[in-house]
Amino acid sequence: MSTSITAPAGRPAPSRGSSTSQTEAPRPITGKSISVGRRVRNTTATVLVGLAVLVAAVPLAFVLVYVVSKGGGVFNLAFLTESIPISSRRAGPGMGPAVAGTLLITGAATLMAVPLGILAAVYLNEYGQANRLAAAIRFLSDVMAGVPSIVMGLFIYTVWVLRFGMSGFAGALALACLMLPIVIRSTEGVLRLVPRDLREASTALGARTSRTILTVVIPAALPGITSGCLLAVARAAGETAPLLFTIGTVRALNPNLFEGTNTALSAQIFVNAQLPFVAAQNRAWGAALTLILLVLLLTIIARIISARFTVR
Amino acid sequence: MSDTQTTLLNTPNTAPEVRNPAELPADAGEPVFEVSDLDFFYGSFRALRDVNLGIGRRRVTALIGPSGCGKSTFLRCLNRMNDLIPGTRVDGRIAYHGQDLYGQGVDPIEVRRQIGMVFQKPNPFPKSIYDNVAFGPKVNGLKPKSMDDLVEESLRRAALWDEVKDKLKQSAFSLSGGQQQRLCIARAIAVRPDVILMDEPCSALDPIATIRIEELMVELKQDYTIVIVTHNMQQAARVSDVTAFFTAEVDDAGHRTGVLVEADATSALFTSPKDQRTDDYITGRFG
């Protein structure tokens, strides 16, 4: 067996590879060897993909530029802290109560939806898996994700506001209902990506399922869970319709979530943009810019948290 | 062909009354596991049939055989890892130090604490090197006098200490594949198990890393019972005291069922196999 591979010294081994390379010229590796049709198709596809990116990015850029140019004029620190002028005609700051309201209401909604959503996702992916209850929950959360936000607002209006009146908390309930399916589905997706290897490693060391989830699965999935939750928060922060039924649109600051009508940036945009006064419209633009910056800030925080918890 | 296979299969196992569940291959030592008439099912599909095998204390037992012969499935029966897969079922008996591993009242968590496992692909947690080793003792409520000492001792036993002692707080992913696998061994040792199961621990490693793990196995068998699944017959020959050869039988419907063909002292199995199928496999005529 070994004799057949060893060639006599000094002479190249006669093999099939060498004989073909002597008779055939090496195939060219310059661009000309690729057919015209293929090159045309390649260029077309590249151009189309580039155009698609452009078409997708242009509206986004326009919205940003427009909001900044319109809202930038009134936006300053006083705008964020001063109360809303009693007379809508009067120019000047601010949107303080709406900023506070958005932070409070969205914060309360987050406190309700995120823990519940993460627990539901843990149940779905780690315990329920393919059983009927899990399938039903998955189906319902998909349906819930598709419910228009105004319907969610009406729902909270009938079950809560009619009995207890408008309050920031009622708004938070409506937003939490909107956030819940987003949190559930994004968290479940991330949990599913945690490799089985890690669960097995933990189990093989004598960890119970609950322990494995708390100490291995959730930490491994944390960056993804965080960004999923932040996406839900950003979505909720911009919602207007469900708030109109549940918190009202007052001008005064109301730090009490559980009593009395409240206000939020999105609600103020809605109200002020409809007013015939330039000053009010400008404040609406300023509120829009504030909202965008708020979401941007949340996204940056989420990125930082994710980066800190990701072990590479 | 199917004719010879059935007759060959029946030679060791024809008469059930002759079957001795506690029978150990020659040179197996005092038994840790005594497996008798083990069948394993994924749903209605039988993946293992009639496995009878004793596994001796402080020995390296190698499970070899072609792909899909059920050797990994068998290994995972020994620490009840297959419990995690829904729809699986075990028939027959696995005695661990005389206790039925699948008996009533047996806590699989306690089983896995005593019977550790190292996997095919190094699978450290996305944590620091230190935390990887400390994980097992922590979840098991072990309260060593000093966790630092336990981590150091485990890493030393896994022949990794000198390479990582200055970077214990660094991510386990900063290590090479071979180092990661030794870290996984250290992690398994840290819970002070009785048995270490290794499922093709070197198949993702380069030859030098492989040799290091093999040397480690030989060292670890002073204190631990080791069962290793390997595709590599040279590896089985190098490290193991006892070798068990599995093969797959294919029925008319194309289902593959794993069977244990024979188990013997490694030197005997590789030099004078009793079964023709073993001979074919180790001489490279099959698989």
Name the average pLDDT for chain B: 86
Q: What pLDDT band is residue A90 in, cutting at 50, 70 and 90?
A: confident
How would you class B15 by CB atoms within 10 Å of its CB: exposed for 0-12, middle for 13-18, buried for 19 or more?
Answer: exposed
Judge contact between B22 and B31, C-beta under 8 A.
Answer: yes
Q: What pLDDT band is residue A81 in, cutting at 50, 70 and 90?
A: confident
pLDDT for the residue B24: 54
Buried-state track A41-79, b at ≥16 Cβ within 10 A, e below 16 = eeeeeeeeeeeeeeeeeeeeeeeeeebbebbeebbeeeb
Residue B11 structure tokens? 């030679």
Q: What does chain A come to in residues?
A: 312
- The answer to whether residue A17 scores a pLDDT higher than 90 is no
Residues 12-51 of B with CB under 8 A from A: none
Residue B135 touches partner A, C-beta closer than 8 Å:
yes
Regarding pTM above 0.80, the answer is no
A100 to A253, A291, B280: CA distances (angstroms)? 8, 12, 79
Tell whether domain A98-309 is in CATH 1.10.287.610: no
Beta-bridge partner residues of B246 = B260
Residue B228 structure tokens? 């290793």
Partner-chain residue, chosen from B86, B121, B125, that has the shortest CB–CB distance to A216: B125
What are the backbone dihedrals phi and psi of residue B227, each rounded to the nearest 5 degrees, phi first? -120, 125
What is the tens place of the pLDDT at every residue in B247-277?
998 888 888 899 999 998 998 899 989 899 9
Are A206 and B136 within 8 A, CB to CB?
yes
Residue B188 touches partner A, C-beta closer than 8 Å:
yes
Q: What pLDDT band is residue B181 in, cutting at 50, 70 and 90?
A: very high
What is the tens place of the pLDDT at every residue in A125-150?
999 888 899 999 999 999 999 999 99
Neighbouring CB atoms inside 10 A of B43's CB total 11
Judge contact between A304 and B120, C-beta under 8 A.
Answer: no
Q: How many residue pairs from chains A and B have C-beta atoms closer than 8 A? A: 74
Residue A222 touches partner B, C-beta closer than 8 Å:
no
Q: Which residues in chain B are closer than 8 Å to A203, comparing Cβ atoms?
A: 81, 84, 112
CA atoms within 13 A on the CB side of B111: 26
- The answer to whether residue B183 scores a pLDDT higher than 50 is yes
Closest residue in A to B169 (Cα) is: A311
Residue A134 touches partner B, C-beta closer than 8 Å:
no
What are the backbone dihedrals phi and psi of residue A227, each rounded to the nearest 5 degrees, phi first? -70, -35
Q: Cα separation of A157 and B45, whole Å?
A: 55
Residue B116 touches partner A, C-beta closer than 8 Å:
yes
What are the backbone dihedrals phi and psi of residue B47, each rounded to the nearest 5 degrees, phi first? -95, -25
Buried-state track B72-109, b at ≥16 Cβ within 10 A, e below 16 = bbbbbbbbbbbbeeeebebebebbbeeeebbeeeeebb
Q: Cα separation of B42 and B73, whole Å?
A: 10
pLDDT for the residue B286: 63
Q: Which residues in chain A are closer than 8 Å to B173, comparing Cβ atoms?
A: 311-312
Q: Cα separation of B257 and B251, whole Å?
A: 8
Q: Which residues in chain A are closer than 8 Å to B123, comparing Cβ atoms?
A: 195, 197-198, 200-201
* Angle between helix B129-139 and B177-189 (nearest 10): 30
Mean pLDDT value across residues B122-126: 93
Work out the widest C-alpha separation in chain B, in whole angstroms.
62
Beta-bridge partner residues of B197 = B117, B227
pLDDT for the residue B10: 33
Judge contact between B34 and B54, C-beta under 8 A.
Answer: yes
Q: Cα separation of A292 and B181, whole Å?
A: 48
- The answer to whether residue A258 scores a pLDDT higher than 60 is yes
Judge contact between B209 and B184, C-beta under 8 A.
Answer: no
Buried-state track A124-160, b at ≥16 Cβ within 10 A, e below 16 = bbbebeeeeebeebbeebeebeeeebeebbbbbbeeb
Are B109 and A207 within 8 A, CB to CB?
yes
Judge contact between B43 and B230, C-beta under 8 A.
Answer: no
Q: What does DSSP assign to residue B29?
A: -
Task: Write down the domain spans for chain A.
Answer: 98-309
Q: Cα separation of B157 and B190, whole Å?
A: 10
Are A200 and B116 within 8 A, CB to CB?
no
Q: Which amino acid is at A227?
A: S
pLDDT for the residue A231: 86
Percent above pLDDT 90 for chain B: 59
Are A202 and B125 within 8 A, CB to CB?
yes
Are A206 and B139 within 8 A, CB to CB?
yes
A205 to A131, B115, B166, B194: CA distances (angstroms)? 27, 8, 25, 12
- The answer to whether residue A286 scores a pLDDT higher than 90 is yes
Q: What does DSSP assign to residue B95?
A: E
Coil, helix or strand for B273?
Answer: coil
- The answer to whether residue A105 scores a pLDDT higher than 90 is yes
Q: Pick the residue of A126, A131, A193, A205 with the most B CBs within 10 A to test the interface with B by mutation.
A: A205
Residue A197 touches partner B, C-beta closer than 8 Å:
yes
Q: Which residues in chain B are closer than 8 Å to A220, comparing Cβ atoms?
A: 125-126
Partner-chain residue, chosen from B84, B123, B139, that has the shortest CB–CB distance to A198: B123
Judge contact between B240 and B61, C-beta under 8 A.
Answer: yes
- The answer to whether residue B211 scores a pLDDT higher than 60 is yes
Coil, helix or strand for B265?
Answer: strand
Chain CA centroid to CA B168, Å: 29
pLDDT for the residue B13: 34
Within 8 A by CB and 6+ apart from B94, the residues are: B33, B34, B35, B36, B38, B77, B78, B100, B101, B102
- The answer to whether residue B9 scores a pLDDT higher than 60 is no
